[in-house]
Amino acid sequence: MARRATVVKQERAAAAHVLLLDAGDTLSSDRPLARQSQGKIVIEAMNLMGYDAMVLGERDLQLGPQVLRQRIAEASFPFLAANLELEGELFVEPYAIKEAGGHRVAIVGLTGMIPNPLHGFEVRDPLGTAQTLVAELRPQADIIVLLVHVGQEMEQRLKQEIQGIDIIVGGSGQPRTSSALWDQAAGVLILPSEQPSPGHAGRLMGFARVLFDGSGRLTSHESQMISLSPDIADDPDVTLLVERYRQNQ
């Protein structure tokens, strides 16, 4: 987390407009401090880094509604999931709208389907949810980003079957390419993300630089996976946070 924070600060110093997004399965970590604090340390670190939004992944739901509500209350950024319900009501906000470079950017969260009932959560069809919501948001936003944890097969369906999407930021445990996937016919950019695995999540960070014209049309992009290797200095604020948690064990 400390190296990630350093990279975030460097990118913010280099660019005027930065959106920092998390594609889910972040709170239910196998790292000891995250596990023991039920994701509380993760939220505090994300607050320090200034995240703009996070989508809930299926593993995050394992914490249950009560713990997740605590994490949501602690966060200085919105949790998003337009298709996640508890007792017939949306559990978190479906989307957030941010201003960036003179554009209104709508960020829509979508959680992947769960095979069995989990803590009373119900996950609605991501495709049908997105179709309705993108149509509603298009008049309100110049750029629409789907922040999803639905798997690559569903990402492809979202890209192909819904008009009006500009970018898909996806997270799942499936292998991914290290570069963005640009579908010129659909006009949709799918950005790379880390393939998490036990003991190795958080070693990479997806980065993209995108350029939109005045009408909100994507004109150019470049992306890469940044390796959070030891040659990146630890951010002192996040280091202090981790040390405080270690001392309280």
User: What contacts 24+ positions apart, CB below 8 Å, involve 232-238?
Assistant: 232/3, 232/6, 232/7, 233/3, 233/6, 234/2, 234/3, 234/6, 235/2, 235/3, 235/4, 235/5, 235/6, 235/9, 235/48, 237/5, 237/48, 238/1, 238/2, 238/4, 238/5, 238/45, 238/48, 238/49
- Per domain, the residue ranges of the chain are 2-230
Give residue-wise pLDDT tens across range 63-112. Answer: 999 999 999 999 999 999 999 999 999 999 999 999 998 899 999 999 99
pLDDT classification of 206: cutoffs 50, 70, 90:
confident
Token pair 């709170």 is found at 27
Letter for the amino acid at 46? Answer: M
* Higher-confidence position of 204 and 19: 19
pLDDT classification of 202: cutoffs 50, 70, 90:
low
The reported pTM is 0.93
Q: Is the pLDDT of residue 9 over 90?
A: yes
At 28 the pLDDT is 77
Q: Is the pLDDT of residue 152 over 90?
A: no
- Sheet of strand 103-111, all strands in order from the earlier edge strand to the far edge: 95-100, 103-111, 143-149, 167-170, 188-191, 181-183
At 201 the pLDDT is 55
The Cα 54–Cα 9 span in angstroms is 19
Give residue-wise pLDDT tens across range 103-125. Answer: 999 999 999 988 888 999 999 99
pLDDT classification of 172: cutoffs 50, 70, 90:
low
Across 185-191, average pLDDT: 87
Which CATH number is 2-230 given? 3.60.21.10
Letter for the amino acid at 41? Answer: I
CA 107 and chain centroid, separation: 10
pLDDT classification of 174: cutoffs 50, 70, 90:
low
